[in-house]
């Protein structure tokens, strides 16, 4: 595994969160996460940044190590999402890149005021998304991860009773030998991350709340 491989699991640097847009390491592993998926691979020596304590200690050391030992091989499931079933990505117009909407400056809404009130309307230029299709010098489209093809935002895939956003599953479904262990919440209000593993690493993926 190398740094280029990890990049696809990071958020764009424009979101202003270094912990979500740069990989980091502890003594044994290197991690990348955008807050929806966390990938862990054996330590890559050139990644020396320390991650946030909450991720490297809690997620990395305790939870991943603990769970893996307890899961029977037969309980790791295939991910029924295949990249070939993706459709044209509307968020980036198939270009793979987006930029802040010039009309609303990335806010998704535009304000206008009368003498008495300030009104906010959904921005018609970007339909409330905050971004418009861009080009290669802009940021990678978060919907299709730069590939120009994705799944509709509301498409869901349920595995063993746990619901995931299909576009999120698609990010890990082509990892070599990938299997998922869906983790159900204790009740209808809790949505714990599920685990996945592949040849070369493992990680967490967040479910979709219904």
Residues that bind Zn ion (CB under 5 A): 89, 91-92, 101, 103-104, 123, 125-126, 141, 143-144
The nearer residue to Zn ion, 19 or 103, going by C-beta atoms, is 103
Alpha carbon separation from 81 to 88, 99, 171, 175, 179 (Å, rounded)? 16, 28, 10, 12, 12
The nearer residue to Zn ion, 47 or 144, going by C-beta atoms, is 144
The nearer residue to Zn ion, 75 or 127, going by C-beta atoms, is 127
Comparing CA positions, the residue from 141, 152, 140 lying closest to residue 87 is 152
Tokens 């003498």, located at residue: 115
Distance CA 93, CA 200 (A): 33
For residue 153, the minimal CB distance to Zn ion (Å) is 11
Comparing CA positions, the residue from 180, 179, 143, 178 lying closest to residue 162 is 180
For residue 144, the minimal CB distance to Zn ion (Å) is 3
Alpha carbon separation from 130 to 25, 96, 97 (Å, rounded)? 32, 16, 13
Comparing CA positions, the residue from 199, 184, 191, 147 lying closest to residue 36 is 191
The nearer residue to Zn ion, 143 or 205, going by C-beta atoms, is 143
The nearer residue to Zn ion, 104 or 195, going by C-beta atoms, is 104
Distance CA 67, CA 70 (A): 5
For residue 104, the minimal CB distance to Zn ion (Å) is 3
For residue 20, the minimal CB distance to Zn ion (Å) is 19
For residue 174, the minimal CB distance to Zn ion (Å) is 17
């Amino acid at each position: 595994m190398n740094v280029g491989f990890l990049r696809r699991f990071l958020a764009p640097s424009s979101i202003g969160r270094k912990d979500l847009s740069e990989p980091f390491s502890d003594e044994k592993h290197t991690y990348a996460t955008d807050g929806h998926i966390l990938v862990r691979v054996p330590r890559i020596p050139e990644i020396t940044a320390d991650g946030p304590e909450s991720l490297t200690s809690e997620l990395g050391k305790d939870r991943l190590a603990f769970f893996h030992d307890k899961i029977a091989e037969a309980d790791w499931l295939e991910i029924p999402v295949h990249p070939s079933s993706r459709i044209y990505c509307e968020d980036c117009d198939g270009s793979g890149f987006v930029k802040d909407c010039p009309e609303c400056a990335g806010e998704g809404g535009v304000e206008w005021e009368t003498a008495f009130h300030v009104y906010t309307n959904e921005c018609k230029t970007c339909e409330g998304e905050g971004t418009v299709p861009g080009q290669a010098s802009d940021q990678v489209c978060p919907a299709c991860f730069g590939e120009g093809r994705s799944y509709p935002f509301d498409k869901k895939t349920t595995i063993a009773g746990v619901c995931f956003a299909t576009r999120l599953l698609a990010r890990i479904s082509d990892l070599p030998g990938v299997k998922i262990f869906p983790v159900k919440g204790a009740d209808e209000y809790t949505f714990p991350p599920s685990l996945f593993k592949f040849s070369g690493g493992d990680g967490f993926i967040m479910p979709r709340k219904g």
